[in-house]
């Protein structure tokens, strides 16, 4: 328990640092937006590009992890929409609530937590989770929101709008460009690699500080639906991890596909002790040359 607290404490300390500097007005109200833009547009894409450019295909392609995480997020997303539409609630609002419940914060919290707790071996699965949430889940939410608002009457315009938003997302473009490096058999130049390392190292601390800045922002008091808030928080923090864990446990494929899983080694079995006479005899037998004919006899 103490070791887990020691690992997690620096992460929450960075969040608290961001919250504190905003509360005592060390930074202005626009610091949250600007720092978020730095993380999303520069630091985190550099980290994703560096991970994919140096990753092996066996580390990225993990069907077990993809199925467990993707199905867990999809189930929570669909369940939230079904529950919210029974209120009744508008489809666009229900899609936003489903995105809040099923969208795992793998970018801002997942990368620093995985890096501190599990090491760089856990960055590849975290990258997979980020691509699923940023690309698949976000795209489905955009389609549902546009369909609910009916701002685009033609399906072709809707597809174009969703595709344009995905292509302009740096968190999706960076890993795609990074995948071209190993596929084309290229090597990242040393100056470029140093640039990516320095910029990518700033992603985790800046993301956590930005999260603290967001939590410290003063908001206007309005009538709140605590029941809906509790429902979304319960789905996100309790139900989704449980569903994902059950899917991974039932399938029994995530431990085998995870690169962080230690390889199996047979148990150690000590050899029986030998006496000095047995050791000497064995050494003489092994040192004798292998020959089918007996040694020549000396005549007196």
In terms of phi and psi (left: phi > 0; alpha: psi -120 to 50; beta: otherwise), the region of 121 is: alpha
- Helix then strand count (H, E) for the chain reads 17, 0
In a domain, 292, yes or no: no
In a domain, 80, yes or no: yes
What's the pLDDT tens digit per position in 87-145? 777 888 888 888 888 888 787 777 777 877 777 777 788 888 888 887 788 778 877 87
Residues (pLDDT < 50) of the chain are 254-288, 290-293, 298-300
In a domain, 296, yes or no: no
In a domain, 14, yes or no: no
Residue 77 is predicted with a pLDDT of 92
Query: Distance between CA atoms of 78 and 98, rounded to whole angstroms?
Result: 7
Structural domains of the chain, count:
1
Whole-structure pTM value: 0.65
In terms of phi and psi (left: phi > 0; alpha: psi -120 to 50; beta: otherwise), the region of 261 is: beta
Domain with 99, as residue range(s), is 66-151+227-258
In a domain, 97, yes or no: yes
Residue 252 is predicted with a pLDDT of 59
């Amino acid at each position: 328990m103490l070791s887990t607290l020691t690992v997690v404490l620096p992460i929450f300390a960075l969040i608290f640092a961001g919250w504190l500097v905003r509360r005592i007005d060390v930074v202005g109200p626009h610091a949250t937006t600007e720092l978020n833009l730095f993380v999303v547009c520069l630091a985190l894409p550099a980290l994703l590009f560096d991970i994919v450019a140096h990753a092996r295909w066996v580390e990225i392609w993990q069907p077990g992890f993809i199925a467990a995480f993707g199905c867990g997020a999809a189930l929570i997303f669909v369940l939230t929409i079904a529950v919210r539409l029974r209120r009744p609630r508008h489809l666009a609002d229900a899609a936003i609530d489903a995105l809040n419940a099923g969208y795992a914060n793998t970018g801002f919290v997942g990368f620093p937590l995985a890096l501190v707790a599990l090491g760089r071996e856990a960055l590849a699965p975290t990258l997979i989770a980020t691509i699923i949430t940023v690309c698949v889940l976000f795209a489905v939410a955009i389609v549902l929101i546009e369909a609910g608002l009916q701002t685009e009457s033609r399906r072709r315009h809707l597809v174009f709008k969703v595709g344009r938003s995905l292509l302009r997302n740096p968190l999706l473009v960076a890993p795609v460009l990074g995948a071209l490096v190993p596929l084309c058999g290229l090597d990242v130049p040393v100056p470029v690699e140093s640039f990516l390392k320095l910029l990518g190292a700033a992603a985790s601390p800046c993301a956590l500080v930005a999260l603290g800045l967001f939590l410290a922002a003063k908001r206007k008091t309005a009538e709140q639906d605590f029941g809906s808030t509790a429902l979304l928080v319960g789905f996100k923090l309790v139900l989704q991890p449980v569903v994902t864990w059950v899917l991974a446990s039932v399938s029994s494929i995530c431990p085998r596909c995870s690169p962080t899983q230690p390889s199996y080694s047979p148990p150690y079995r000590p050899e029986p002790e030998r006496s000095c006479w047995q050791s000497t005899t064995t050494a003489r037998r092994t040192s004798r040359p292998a020959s089918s004919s007996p040694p020549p006899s000396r005549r007196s």
